[in-house]
Amino acid sequence: MRIDSRPVQPSVSSGFEHVNRYWDDVHQVWAAKILPGEFYVSTQGEMIVTVLGSCIAACIRDKVRGIGGMNHFMLPEQNEYSSDVWGGNPGTTASRYGNWAMEFLINEILKRGGRRENLEVKLFGGGQMIASMTDIGQRNILFAYNYLASEGLKVAASDVGDVYARKVLYFPDTGAVKVRRIKDMKNDTLLKRENSYRKQVETTALVQSGGVDLF
């Protein structure tokens, strides 16, 4: 009889109950998989996973205390119509925008004991998935670098741009990152998902502003 030697799953922090958490047999670690518009912070040695197309993931941690997390945002910034509607609730669609996603992630790390002067930042994603479309990935990359510069934070490592999707595995306790460039996508699931989420975000912003009723 096989004995399950995996450690007990770490308790989930308040606000992250909706995130998919599972045991990863390959890396022998508990993991959390985030989708577009989500972010996750760990203080207990978990791995954080996401798959990116034109979206950006910022991996940020306190390199002294090992507290860190990852976000996954789709568009650079909220517009003036939606900022007062979504407010600062991490459970809303606001975190699909870079300005909220970065603020949420940094604030949650600091709330859990991280210190700003110890923050280490790594950036991934921003691929141009369809050559004929507007390069949203490049806009996301520029936003991320500009935002971090305005906050006085330097990028320690990155793998951004080009034409690839990426699978990112992040270990906040050590700062290690594994990136797989997906050069030959077997299907267009990722593209459809990103486009669907992006349309939802843009439509919600317009409808909630009261300016345009889309149908």
| Residues designated catalytic | 55
DSSP states along 164-205: -EEEEEEETTTTEEEEEEE-S-SSSHHHHHHHHHHHHHHHHH
Q: Which pair of structure tokens corresponds to residue 140?
A: 């996301």
SS (H, E, C) 111-173: HCCCCHHHEEEEEEECCCCCCCCCCHHHHHHHHHHHHHHHCCCCEEEEEECCCCEEEEEEECC
Positive or negative torsion for Cα 135, 196, 209, 18 = negative
Task: Compute the distance between CA of residue 96 and CA of residue 38 in angstroms, rounded to an integer.
Answer: 7
